[in-house]
A and B are shown apart, each in its own frame.
Chain A
């Protein structure tokens, strides 16, 4: 008797309504993943820097665009971290740079247009070195580097 009553009450009990997931959740998940991707893989660029097409070499390591970044356009115009500077102001701008942790020489990263005259590049590198900065040339990894001997 009691068994029959309990069975009846179980049948008559209204079905528990499960909370329905918001249909926007998959979209939000994908957008979060996109956000994470751009945060981790992207490099913020100042206006003008993204227009520079750097030299392509078979470099192996992939690096993010470092700072401080001296961008040199094809016609030799300079900008340091997005701020346009004259050639004569380069030494003064380098004097304002701070050395990385554990070093006493500031490092200036140079992003030069691939079609910039090589002699202009060498002159600017020389001026930067003379102003007391170690320089590093930013190139684009073209991939397909030759195998090591």
Chain B
């Protein structure tokens, strides 16, 4: 009896699959951004409430706060003291332990987004519950003294 001829097995062609996967890798490598982002919740009518879930409501008028923090370029003025932004967090912790619950954060004209974000982050991490963020009027002079050039 004659044995049937073994059918030639067609190999699995991987080249198109590899091509497509390489294209996907190139697409994701070029279009994606791998960076550890963080979020600082900011809410309120032109003011910020930090430390909550981002949904608190604050009154429309700028109510007086326990403390006023002026953010300058790379520095912050807290009362009569001018601090480097790196030193703001320990000062905010002491402030909170002394009973301060609300802070009015005023951005001077020289302040950049980085300075505002660092100040908000320091207050948030210090546990200050209520931070209201306002900007200095455009026509006003530079707020506060003791600002060092960057």
Q: Which of A112, A126, A148 contacts B45 (CB 8 A)?
A: A126
**Which chain A positions have C-beta within 8 A of B115?**
118
How many residues in B have their beta carbons less than 8 Å from beta carbons of A?
A: 52
How many residue-residue contacts, CB under 8 A, span A and B? Answer: 186
Asked if A28 and B18 make an inter-chain contact with CB atoms under 8 angstroms apart, the answer reads: yes
| A-contacting residues, B76-129, CB 8 Å | 89, 93, 107-109, 111-118, 120-121, 125
Decide yes or no whether B131 CB sits under 8 A from chain A.
Answer: no
Asked if B113 and A118 make an inter-chain contact with CB atoms under 8 angstroms apart, the answer reads: yes
Asked if B107 and A138 make an inter-chain contact with CB atoms under 8 angstroms apart, the answer reads: no
| B-contacting residues, A92-149, CB 8 Å | 103, 105, 107, 109-110, 112-119, 121-123, 125-126, 129-130, 134-141, 143, 145-146, 148-149
Q: Is the interface of B mostly helix, strand, loop or mixed?
A: mixed
Contacts A31-B21, A45-B32, A137-B42 given; does A117 touch B54 at CB 8 Å: no
Once bound together, how far apart are the Cα atoms of A45 and B40, in whole Å? 20
Q: Which of A50, A55, A65, A105 contacts B113 (CB 8 A)?
A: A55
Asked if B45 and A138 make an inter-chain contact with CB atoms under 8 angstroms apart, the answer reads: no
Please list 17 pairs of residues, one from A and one from B, whose beta carbons are closer than 8 Å in the complex, sorted by A's number. Answer: A32-B21, A34-B25, A38-B32, A55-B117, A58-B125, A59-B36, A62-B38, A65-B37, A114-B117, A118-B108, A118-B111, A121-B107, A122-B133, A125-B133, A137-B42, A137-B117, A141-B38
- Please list the residues of chain B having a beta carbon within 8 angstroms of any beta carbon in chain A: 12, 14, 17-18, 21-22, 24-25, 28-29, 31-48, 54-55, 71, 89, 93, 107-109, 111-118, 120-121, 125, 133-136, 138
